[in-house]
Amino acid sequence: MNSPAQNKTETFFYDDDVVKKFIVATIIWGLVALLLGVFIAFQLSSWRLNFNLPWLTFGRLRPLHTNAAIFAFGGNAIFAGIYHSSQRLLKTRLYSDTLSRIHFWGWQAIIVAAAITLPLGITTSKEYAELEWPIDIAITLVWVVFAVNFMGTIWRRREQHMYVAIWFYIATIITVAVLHVVNSVEIPVSFLKSYPVYAGVQDALVQWWYGHNAVAFFLTTPFLGLMYYYVPKAAGQPVYSYRLSIIHFWSLVFIYIWAGPHHLLYTALPEWAQTLGMVFSVMLIAPSWGGMINGLLTLRGAWNRVRTEPILKFFVAALTFYGMATFEGPLLSIKSVSALGHYTDWIVGHVHGGTLGWNGFLIAAMLYYLVPKVWKTELYSTRLANAHFWTGFLGIILYILSMWVAGITQGLMLRAVNAEGRLVYPDFVETVIRIVPLYWLRAIGGTLYLIGFGMLAYNLYKTIKRAPKVADEPQTAEPLKVDYTKLLEKRPHRILEALPTTFTVLTLLAVLVGSIIEIMPTLMAHNYVGTTSKAKPYKPLELMGRDIYVRESCYTCHSQMVRPIPSEVLRYGKHSKAEDSMYDYPHQWGSKRTGPDLANLGGKYPDLWHFRHMIDPREVTPKSIMPGYPWLVRDKADFRSLKKKLQVMRGMGVPYSDAEIEHAEELAREQAHKIASQLEAQGIPKGMAEREIVALIAYLQRLGKGEAQ
Amino acid sequence: MKAQVLANFSMPWLTCIGLLIFFAVFCGALAWVFRKSGEPVYAKLSVLPLEEDRK
């Protein structure tokens, strides 16, 4: 830069203390998240590992695994990388040490709160946003602290231009804020229970707009920013094409936000929104591969070093897995492919190719680079890092191959119809038994990956332990005197890269265009829900049962959405329509069928079947892999909160009468007694009317029976 | 009301215009980014991450 002569050089220090804290948190939470993942993988292989304990059951631990992996492991890693690289790129210390500290401890407190509430069944059941409302507020506050700290750092920068990595960080901060706030609008019923303001099809659309963009703006854009900083650092040469990185940024940010509905193909979501989501998902391959190619070609002329340097190995593998996952994603978004792959383990394989391969390996590369750098020492063992690479790599391969085979096998079995037009495998459990061996293989793959990460933890622990105690090095740079009028005169086309505010607004606009066009019509038009056949609201006892269904996170294994596909209608009955779930706060459409769809479950089996099935599923379905839920027979149902729940529901538009709300408790007890006395007549012990099991049975028997006469 | 409007949507040219606008903006951005005069700026920007190591 042609800086004026009066500028003096300033001396300052980087804040690497908070970077170190986030690094240590990344390693610890990484171990926790992976350990949880391995544990629930073994639970799917052997139901005995659920131990008949509520807080150790798959449904409660699976959300904990995803939250720990994304927000604790991934979150701490991106904060470490963002705080480290931004200070260097902007040539300044972080804006405020206090804000940095609040950010760090606040985020760890949120993680601990998640680790306590989720196993207790305190959940909103919205995938990747399961945390209840007080924690949602805490997340918002900490995120604002992060945003202020980051923007303040930009404001105080000593480097005129913002490198492309900073753009990716800004896009992350504003988009995650928008996603989190819009998706988490909920009405509290009590301190730890709330209902979302969206129901059914609207809730599903908002949820997957959020869910997909959590992948986009929590697991992709920040990691791409880190990639654009750390890959050139590790390779010792600038990025392959800076121009390509600009195109990459804008097209990625603009297109990604539209892709959410590909999670809802063939559902009751309006057709146009499905098509829109599919088209944009397919388009997404272009910017994704542009970024991958840009990253890989940054290593031009340095490929010989990939053989010997574990950091480069991890980067190359991470970028390759990114390319693979972003090819598979658009493929799975094509409606006919989604028809086969959706709800199966293929999706699980796809997700883990992205998270273990792209995010996990990029974090490993970053940590191997960063730890020796900020602790001012050498890596303890390069051989161990290489061993980590190959162990982890083998783990990922076992994981995704087994899940591909499991998903496609089960998908084909479920749709197989013989010449007479009947299902070849009418019992769902037949298709499950077939893929259980692959579940074991997956669990072994996960274990290998965990062992690899354990090597990283040990290696970095040793590295940190032997680090010398040295004082922070002073940095020098000239202060920035931005004269915008002069800049505008001299080079008006450059102003964008120098003006963070304008840039932030433009990014926000790019993100909002897609969000508004896609979501607003569905949110505003209640008419999508057919007016001719209105649904009945849930009876008080059914609502209570529904809350138990939500508490146990049944959606992690059961969908409630029959797609209009012949084999599916043959198996599950009539296909689901928007009005079926119009009073579902939150929707329970689900995204995975480890067990069968439950949309039309009501009346299919007698109450006694459900009673025995919930205590021990294998008593009625031999070889079932579902956990038992014996505590539902022991625990007393919470009748007292029903009045408040109905009131909140009416506030959101569910047509409950005054009498229903006033007598909610009596109505529920009445229905419970009816079910319990019938069960008693069939030999079940007395006193069940007070227990949770009866409420759950009432709800399950109501599924698919919601149409008003 | 809105549902009826959307159901009877018969203005395919409107979506075509939308497509053209997006495509034109994309091509414009592409042309802007790849202008020759940008060369020195991008050259400076792309070495920003490496400055720390070169001191």
pLDDT at B55 over 60: no
CB contact under 8 A, B50 and A161: no
In the predicted model, what is the mean pLDDT of residues B34-40?
A: 88
The whole-number pLDDT of residue A499 equals 66
Angle formed by the axes of helices A428-465 and A382-415, nearest 10°:
170
Lowest mean pLDDT among A364-368, A468-472, A566-570, A658-662: A468-472
pLDDT band at A7 (very low <50, low <70, confident <90, very high): low
Q: What is the pLDDT of residue A497?
A: 53
Chain B residue with minimum CA distance to A373: B53
Q: Given an 8 Å threshold on Cβ–Cβ distance, is B48 in contact with A163?
A: yes
Q: How far from each other are the two terminal CA atoms of chain A, in whole angstroms?
A: 76
| A251 contacts B41? CB cut-off 8 A | no
Shortest distance between the Cα of A85 and any Cα of chain B, in A, equals 8
pLDDT at A167 over 90: yes
Q: Select the residue from B26, B45, B51 to test the A interface by mutation, using most A Cβ atoms within 10 A.
A: B45
pLDDT at A314: 97
What was the pLDDT predicted at A357?
97
Indicate yes or no: CB of A524 within 8 angstroms of CB of B4. Answer: no
Cβ-nearest to A233 among B1, B33, B49: B49
For A524, nearest residue in chain B (alpha carbons):
B2
Put simply, the answer to whether A528 touches B46 (Cβ < 8 Å) is: no
Residue B1 distance to chain A (closest CA, Å): 8
Nearest to A525 among B3, B42, B48 (CB): B3
Pick from A89, A494, A521: CB nearest B49: A89
Residue of B nearest to A163 (CA): B45
User: Inter-chain contact A89–B53, Cβ cutoff 8 Å?
Assistant: no
The nearest CA of chain A is from the CA of B17 a distance in Å of 15
pTM of the entire structure? 0.93
Task: Count chain A–chain B contacts defined by CB atoms under 8 A.
Answer: 63
The string of pLDDT tens digits covering residues A415-427 is 999 999 999 999 9
CA dihedral A337, A338, A340, A344 (to 10 degrees): 130
**pLDDT at residue A487 tops 70:** no
**C-alpha separations of A423 from A121, A414, A420, A431, A597 in Å:** 36, 8, 9, 12, 16
CB A600 within 8 A of CB A704: yes
What is d(CA A655, CA A627) in angstroms, rounded to the nearest whole number? 36
Residues of B with CB under 8 A from a CB of A: 1-4, 6, 26, 29-30, 32-34, 38, 41-53
Report H helices in A334-427: 335-341, 345-352, 361-374, 382-415
Residues of B in contact with A527 (CB under 8 A): 1-4
Which of A92, A230, A242, A251 best tests the B interface by mutation, with the highest count of B CBs <10 A? A242
With 80 as the cut, is the pLDDT of residue A86 above it? yes
Considering chain B, what percentage of its residues have pLDDT values greater than 90?
13
Option in B6, B49, B52 nearest A163 (CB): B49
Q: Which of A134, A258, A260 lies closest to A203 in space, CA to CA?
A: A260
Asked whether the beta carbons of A89 and A14 are under 8 A apart, the reply is: no
What is the Cα Rg of chain A in Å? Answer: 27
Chain A residues whose CB is inside 8 A of the B38 CB are 243, 493
Peptide bond into A586 cis (omega under 30): yes
Best residue in B48, B53, B55 for a mutation probing chain A (most A CBs within 10 Å): B48
Partners of A159 on chain B (C-beta within 8 Å) are 48
A-chain CB neighbours of B4 within 8 Å are: 527
Q: How far is CA A61 from CA A160, A219, A222, A344, A469, in A?
A: 47, 21, 27, 19, 41
For B29, nearest residue in chain A (alpha carbons): A247
The stretch A591-611 carries a mean pLDDT of 96
Instruction: Please tell me the predicted confidence (pLDDT) of residue A469.
Output: 87
A88 contacts B52? CB cut-off 8 A: yes
The residue among A166, A246, A509 with the most chain B CBs within 10 A of its CB, best to mutate, is A246
Amino acid occupying residue A98: T
The confidence score (pLDDT) of residue A119 equals: 97
A161 to B1: CB separation less than 8 angstroms, yes or no: no
User: Are the beta carbons of B45 and A163 separated by less than 8 Å?
Assistant: yes
Q: What is the mean pLDDT of chain A?
A: 92
Q: How far apart are CA A509 and CA A254, in angstroms?
A: 9
* Residue A568 · residue A561 · CB < 8 Å: no
Per-residue model confidence as pLDDT tens digits over A225-280: 999 999 999 999 999 999 999 999 999 998 988 888 888 888 888 888 888 889 98
Over residues A563-567, mean pLDDT: 94
Q: With CB atoms and an 8 Å threshold, state whether B42 touches A165.
A: no
Q: What phi and psi values does residue A231 have, to the nearest 5 degrees? A: -65, -50
From residue A148, alpha-carbon distances to A15, A22, B22 in Å are 16, 18, 33
Residue A242: which of B29, B42, B52 has the nearest Cβ? B42
Query: What ipTM was reported for this prediction?
Result: 0.84
Task: Indicate if the pLDDT at residue A533 is higher than 60.
Answer: no
Instruction: Answer yes or no: is pLDDT of A394 > 90.
Output: yes
Instruction: State residue A531's pLDDT score.
Output: 47
Tell me the pLDDT tens digit for each residue of A64-85: 999 999 999 999 999 999 999 9
Residues on chain A bordering chain B, Cβ-to-Cβ distance under 8 angstroms: 85, 88-89, 159, 161, 163-165, 228-229, 232-233, 236-239, 242-243, 246-247, 250-251, 272, 493-494, 497, 521, 524-525, 527-528
pLDDT of residue A600: 95
Residue A230, min C-alpha distance to chain B (Å)? 8
Name every chain B residue with its beta carbon within 8 A of the beta carbon of A251: 26
pLDDT for A509: 86
Q: Which of B1, B4, B48 sits opposite A89 (nearest CB)?
A: B48
For range A304-328, the mean pLDDT: 96
User: Which residue of B35, B46, B54 is the best one to mutate when testing the A interface, meaning the one whose CB has the most A CBs within 10 A?
Assistant: B46
Instruction: Give A461's pLDDT tier (boundaries 50, 70, 90).
Output: very high
Q: Report d(CA A89, CA A49) in Å as an integer.
A: 49
Cα–Cα distance measured from residue A187 to residue A645, given in angstroms and rounded to the nearest whole number: 10
Per-residue pLDDT at B14 exceeds 80: no
A365 pLDDT higher than 50: yes
Nearest to B47 among A238, A246, A493 (CB): A238
Check if the beta carbon of residue A554 is closer than 8 Å to that of residue A296.
no
How far does the CA of residue A316 sit from the closest CA of chain B (Å)? 19
Report which of A698, A701, A660 is spatially closest to residue A545, judged by C-alpha positions.
A698
pLDDT category at A4 given cuts 50, 70, 90 is very low
Instruction: Specify the pLDDT at position A518.
Output: 75
Nearest CA in chain A to B1: A527
Of A161, A229, A251, which has the smallest distance from its Cβ to B45's Cβ? Answer: A161
Does residue A31 have a pLDDT over 50?
A: yes
Distance CA A128, CA A260 (A): 14
Which residues, other chains included, contact A576 with Cβ-Cβ below 8 Å and sequence gap of 6+? Answer: A267, A268, A560, A561, A562, A563, A599
